[in-house]
């Protein structure tokens, strides 16, 4: 694959995109916006990531299909370098107005016909309760490794729901069906969300704000707030849907709880990243 250097300026997002992010809780950027070769590098690494017998790998209920692999910025030098791209850091720093580190990284795979759902949830509640991160001053960055369509399980958002604060009201006890023998931390990473939002709350917000599923070609970059209410349906198509995801956190917002979760879920070294 050919690599180029497009989009490597260490600059924040344009003011209108920053305003849209703060208003809607997300913004979708076209391919090449945050470094032209980011997609090529990620796709080059993906086969070895999926093949490795890694402790951060989570399977679907069938026990065979890869659902996610966590902690890539700690185990894969090429992926770690991507997190420090000047354009990417510039965008995230601009949104958080602070230096940042990667709290969590992963690749989420929705295999053809087999990729399961993610129920309605907010991300921040897991970092608050599991890691003691006291403010939702984090940013999710998702790079589409495949084209995302209405058929292969796109993320669905309630725009503006991040302004409602923490909505989770149910802490599901026990392990999800199909994961009874898995470590306790797996309960937060399956199709059955541990912290659930009541249906009446979801309905009220959706009727008021609508629903949107950002879609686009491979290489698109989706940036979204940790408190935006979202889900994704199962992949009913014959086409894979893979996303590389980085969770950036402000260095001033570092976890107050360490060691409770594995390092691949909560980075224990919140050191400010420098661009390369």
Strand order through the sheet with 221-224: 26-29, 221-224, 138-144, 241-250, 100-110, 66-70, 57-59
Cα–Cα dist 274/208, whole Å: 41
Q: What's residue 172's pLDDT?
A: 54
Q: Structural domain boundaries of the chain?
A: 15-252
pLDDT above 70 for 236:
yes
Residue 245 pLDDT level (bands cut at 50, 70, 90): very high
Residue 36 pLDDT level (bands cut at 50, 70, 90): confident
Q: What's residue 6's pLDDT?
A: 38
Mean predicted confidence (pLDDT) in 46-63: 92
Residue 169 pLDDT level (bands cut at 50, 70, 90): low
Q: Average per-residue pLDDT in the chain?
A: 89
- Give me the percent of the chain exceeding a pLDDT of 70: 87
Condensed to tens digits (0 to 9), the pLDDT of residues 102-157 reads 999 999 999 999 888 889 999 999 999 889 999 999 999 999 999 999 999 999 99
Whole-model pTM above 0.85? yes
**What is the length of the chain?**
276
pLDDT above 70 for 82:
yes
Instruction: Write down the residue that tokens 């979760």 correspond to.
Output: 261
pLDDT above 90 for 3:
no
Mean predicted confidence (pLDDT) in 186-206: 77
Taking the domain 15-252, which CATH number applies? 2.60.120.620
- Is residue 105 within 8 A of residue 71, CB to CB? The reply is yes
Strand order through the sheet with 230-232: 118-121, 230-232, 155-157
Instruction: Write down the residue that tokens 């999926």 correspond to.
Output: 50
Q: What's residue 123's pLDDT?
A: 94
pLDDT above 90 for 60:
no
- Give me the percent of the chain exceeding a pLDDT of 90: 75
Q: What's residue 1's pLDDT?
A: 35
């Amino acid at each position: 694959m050919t690599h180029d250097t497009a989009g490597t300026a260490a600059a924040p997002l344009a003011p209108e995109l920053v305003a849209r992010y703060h208003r809607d809780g997300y913004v979708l950027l076209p391919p090449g916006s945050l470094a032209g070769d980011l997609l090529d590098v990620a796709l080059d690494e993906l086969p070895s990531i999926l093949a490795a017998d890694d402790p951060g790998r989570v399977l679907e209920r069938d026990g065979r299909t890869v659902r996610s692999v966590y902690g890539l910025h700690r185990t894969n030098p090429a992926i770690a370098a991507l997190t420090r791209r000047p354009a990417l850091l510039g965008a995230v720093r601009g949104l958080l107005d602070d230096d940042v580190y990667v709290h969590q990284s992963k690749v989420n795979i929705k295999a053809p016909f087999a990729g399961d759902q993610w129920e309605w949830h907010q991300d921040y509640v897991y970092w608050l309760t599991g890691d003691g991160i006291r403010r939702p001053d984090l940013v999710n960055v998702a790079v589409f490794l495949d084209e995302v369509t209405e058929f292969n399980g796109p993320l669905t958002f309630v725009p503006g729901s991040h302004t409602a604060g923490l909505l989770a009201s149910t802490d599901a006890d026990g392990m999800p069906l199909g994961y009874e023998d898995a470590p306790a931390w797996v309960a937060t990473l399956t199709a059955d969300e541990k912290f659930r939002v009541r249906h009446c709350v979801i309905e009220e917000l959706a009727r008021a704000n609508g629903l949107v599923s950002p879609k686009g070609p491979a290489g698109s970059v989706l940036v979204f707030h940790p408190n935006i209410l979202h889900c994704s349906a199962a992949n009913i198509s014959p086409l894979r849907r893979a996303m590389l995801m980085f969770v950036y956190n402000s260095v001033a917002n570092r976890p107050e709880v360490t060691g409770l979760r594995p390092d691949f879920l909560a980075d224990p070294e919140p050191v400010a990243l420098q661009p390369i």
